[in-house]
A and B are shown apart, each in its own frame.
Chain A
Amino acid sequence: MASSEKRPNTWLGALLFVLGALSVWVGSDLLEREGGLLRIGLVSMGLGAIYVGLDRTMWRIRGHRVAVDFWLSVAWLAVIGLAAVFADWLPFAESRDASKSFSAPVASRPDLFSSHPLGTDTFGLDLLGGVVYGARLSLQISFGAVIIGLVLGGMLGMLAGYFRGVTDEVLGVLTNSMLAIPPLIFLIALMVAIEPSVLNLSIALAFLGIPTYVRLARANTLVFRQKEFVVAAKSTGARHGRVLIREILPNVLLPLVSYAFIVVAVLIVAEGSLSFLGLSIPRPEPTWGNMISAGANDLRRTPHLVFVPGIVMFITVFALNRVGDHARQKWDPRESRV
């Protein structure tokens, strides 16, 4: 039931775009001073106007509806990803070593054209650099967890779904046990016990996701093992291993990977929660979570310490969700009904 509308007026789109940009500029300029809700209102309306304007302009140019949100998300993720990879070569002010930032101003507000475009925190560490290095850590932890989970969980799920019988039963019990442990409590206890490093966090977070991957892989394997090409392969005497790897794996992989985007988003949020409870990578090494939680104590005096990493985290997670949605629509056989 797609809606159809007439092609929009050319200039309305562009006008909205310009007005929106202006509104955001004025609104964020007010970040320098007080203004509270008015500035938030201006910036939000401005962003909304930009989005709508862009949408209409692209529509006009391309002649059909363009999924602007998808492409914006991809663009943002690309920027963040590249910045995270090349962080060491980018010209940030000191953002990780508190013993080198004694001369920098403390908790200064964002000032777009200075050497600290997004401001500094209570140690004089640059927030822009912090956000980028934080992106690197958050992405490392999340992707690490997803890869470990995918590999282990996917394997176990495929085995359970393919062989059924006792294997399935045993794996079912194990999976249920892992799911029955309250996740947050498990994470907290684990992180209190072991040292918080990227590897340990990845393993801990992977542990939480494995049951879901197992179920997903198992469900998809169950669907595919009855398909003709698999039956054909087995009847020609192919060994189990071969059938699993050649026939089932490629079909199971795609839905799993499409789900992975969303899982990465969830894990980034989970790392933030762990930081709030003080259980993630400790300061001064920046992660989004520990930057937010360090700033949360003094929200009224220095709100930018929370909002700068918070907004970046929000946009990244949002973008991942969007991309994940689109990916699932294309690749998950159960989703592509619409």
Chain B
Amino acid sequence: MIRTFLHKLLQLVPVLLIVSFLTLALLELVPGDPSISILGADAPAAEYERVREQLGLDQPLLERYGNWLSDAVSGDLGDSAVRPGVSVWSLIASRLPVTLQITVMALGLALLVSIPVGVAAAARVGSRFDRGVGTVTSGLISIPQFVAGLLIVQLFVFNPDVPRIGTAVLLWFVALTLLVNWCRRFVSDREGGAGSVFVGCLVLGLGLLAFFWWPSFPRQGFSRLTGDDGLAENLRTTFLPALTVAMSEIAVFTRLLRSDMISTLQEDYILAANAQGKPLWRILFRDALRPSSFSLMTVAGVSLGRLIGGTVIVETIFNLPGMGRLIIQEGVIVNDFPIVQGGVLVIALFYVVLNALVDISYAALDPRIRRGVV
């Protein structure tokens, strides 16, 4: 295992080199240069030349890459070209937490919804519920993120009663189902079931909470955790963007978990447990979930890495100061190449490290891979 770990780590270096070089090469193709962003439209022509020289834009590509690389290796990502005196690192340090928070919240939301739904769908394969879940997840994947964002804004911000009532009704319905199940438990003579009551009451409480204390969500903006208003305000401003990102992840996770659970539930030991009369929820969550969740965990881990670079759209719609907007609006569009270089490097680093961790943990958990059988 140490060998695989070192192996992965070694792969990091050429990957990052290739990524950063490709980025600089790509930026060469992007038209325009930062001098216009710095000087505006009204300066005399000689000024633009002077600025371009100052920024080293007349040097050949390899030389510029070499300069940047030698600095980057020692941790210096340079200063912004358009905003002199502002270091790229400080910009990234202030934007990365925002993107990370949205991504982590989105994944958390996605897992929170997809695990119970996926398990329930797998438990009742072929039923109406299962087919409904399949349809809904297909639907969620079919909505582009920007449309989802616009719809969520229309719903949650301008028509808040709809999601409020809808969520409350849904939660009450789920609670009702669980409690009815529990009653049936007594009738059909299976042991246990106390968990159902507990969860059922919890969900009922959540439904009441949703109905009476539904927060109002802002159309845009971001309130920092360390800011004056603390956690509550921060969550209020990050919930809708996180939800937008979570929409398609929920669909993907649900389908993945469902298909893995279905095959696990056909294993012999599950049939044995069922024959022994173990309660359903225990079989599902204790015995079947863990082996089925490998794929889910790997996909979630990989999604985390992937999503960090993919939040541009929600950041635009909700006006969040995140990495996506930093790289695109404050980087690519105004040709501020140190920002783009630094930002892409950090995201790529995240992705590669996360991937490596996921691969390693996968190998650690699944003995078949560890022993090189698969």
Which residues of A are in contact with B by a Cβ distance under 8 Å? 1-3, 37, 69, 172-174, 176-177, 179-186, 188-190, 192-194, 265-266, 269-270, 272-273, 276-277, 289, 292-293, 296, 299, 306, 310, 313-314, 317-318, 321-322, 325, 335, 337-338
Chain B stretch 125-183: residues in CB contact (< 8 A) with chain A? 125-128, 134-135, 138-139, 141-147, 150, 154, 159, 162
Q: B135 contacts A177, CB within 8 Å?
A: no
B14 contacts partner chain A, Cβ-Cβ < 8 Å: yes
Chain B, Cβ-Cβ closest to A338: B262
Instruction: Tell me the bound Cα distance from A189 to B125 in angstroms.
Output: 44
Report the separation of the CA atoms of residues A186 and B308 in the bound assembly, to the nearest whole angstrom. 13
Partner of B125, one of A2, A180, A188: A2
B interface residues, tally (CB under 8 Å): 56
Bound-state CA distance A276–B314 (Å) is 12
How far apart sit A322 and B30, CA to CA, in the bound complex (Å)? 39
Do B259 and A335 touch across chains, with their CB atoms under 8 A apart? yes
Task: Please state if B146 and A184 are interface contacts (CB–CB under 8 Å).
Answer: no
Do A184 and B124 have beta carbons less than 8 Å apart? no
Question: Measured between C-beta atoms, what is the minimum distance from A138 to chain B in Å?
Answer: 12
> Is B11 positioned at the interface, with any CB of A under 8 Å from its CB?
yes
User: Once the chains bind, are B142 and A321 in contact (CB under 8 Å)?
Assistant: yes
CA distance A292 to B149 in the complex (A): 13
The residue among A3, A185, A289, A325 with the most chain B CB atoms within 10 A of its own CB is A185
| CB-based contact A272/B312 at 8 Å | no
Given contacts A269-B141, A318-B142, A335-B259, 14 further A-B contacts (CB under 8 A): A3-B127, A176-B355, A177-B19, A180-B16, A180-B355, A182-B308, A183-B310, A189-B23, A193-B29, A292-B144, A292-B147, A314-B142, A322-B138, A325-B134
* Of B63-71, B86-94, B226-234, B345-353, the one touching chain A: B345-353
* A262–chain B nearest beta-carbon distance, Å: 8
Does B15 sit within 8 A of A, measured CB to CB?
Answer: yes
Decide if B138 touches A321 in the complex (CB within 8 Å).
Answer: yes
Q: With a CB–CB cut-off of 8 A, which chain B residues contact A189?
A: 23, 26-27, 30, 332, 340
CA–CA, A330 to B154, complex, Å? 40
Residues of A within 8 A of B144 (CB): 269-270, 272-273, 276, 289, 292, 313
Contact yes or no, B126 A188, CB < 8 A: no
Q: What's the least CB distance linking A216 to chain B, in Å?
A: 14
Residues of B bordering A, CB below 8 Å: 11, 14-16, 18-19, 22-23, 26-27, 29-31, 124-128, 134-135, 138-139, 141-147, 150, 154, 159, 162, 259, 262-263, 266, 306, 308-310, 312-313, 316, 324, 327-328, 332-333, 340, 344, 347-348, 351-352, 355
State in angstroms the CA–CA spacing of A177 and B134 once bound together. Answer: 33
Given A273-B146, A325-B138: A180 touches B348 (CB 8 Å cut-off): yes
Q: Name the A residues within 8 Å of B27 (CB-CB).
A: 189
A192 touches B30 (CB 8 A): yes
Set of chain A residues within 8 Å of B128, measured between Cβ atoms: 3
User: In the bound complex, how far is the Cα of B148 from the Cα of A313, in angstroms?
Assistant: 13
Inter-chain CA distance A223–B325, complex, in Å, is: 42
Sample 10 A-B pairs with CB under 8 A, ordered by A number: A180-B16, A184-B324, A185-B312, A192-B31, A192-B332, A193-B31, A266-B141, A276-B146, A277-B313, A335-B259
Distance (whole angstroms) from the CB of A265 to the closest CB of chain B: 7
In contact, A181 and B19 (Cβ under 8 angstroms): yes
**Which residues on the B side are within 8 Å of A314 (C-beta)?**
139, 142-143
Return the chain B residue nearest A262 by Cβ. Answer: B141
Please determine whether B332 and A184 come into contact, CB atoms closer than 8 angstroms.
no
Find out whether the CB atom of A182 lies under 8 angstroms from the CB atom of B135: no
Contacts A183-B310, A184-B324: A193 and B26 contacting too (C-beta < 8 A)? yes
Instruction: Give bound CA distance, A313 to B141, whole Å.
Output: 12
Q: Inside 8 A of A180's CB, which chain B residues have their CB?
A: 15-16, 19, 348, 351-352, 355
Contact A299–B150 (Cβ < 8 Å): yes
Are A318 and B139 neighbours in the complex by a CB distance under 8 Å? yes
A112 to B134, CA, bound (A): 32
Q: Is the CB of B351 within 8 A of A1?
A: no
Cβ-closest chain A residue relative to B146: A276
Instruction: Say how far B373's CB is from chain A's closest CB, in angstroms.
Output: 11
Instruction: Give the residues in chain B near A184, CB-CB below 8 Å.
Output: 309-310, 312-313, 324
Residues of B within 8 A of A292 (CB): 144, 147
When the two chains form the complex, which single residue of A185, A266, A310 contacts B327, counting CB atoms closer than 8 Å?
A185
List, in ascending order, chain B residues with CB within 8 A of A3's CB: 124, 126-128
Question: Which of A176, A266, A277 counts the most B-chain CB atoms under 10 A from its CB?
Answer: A176
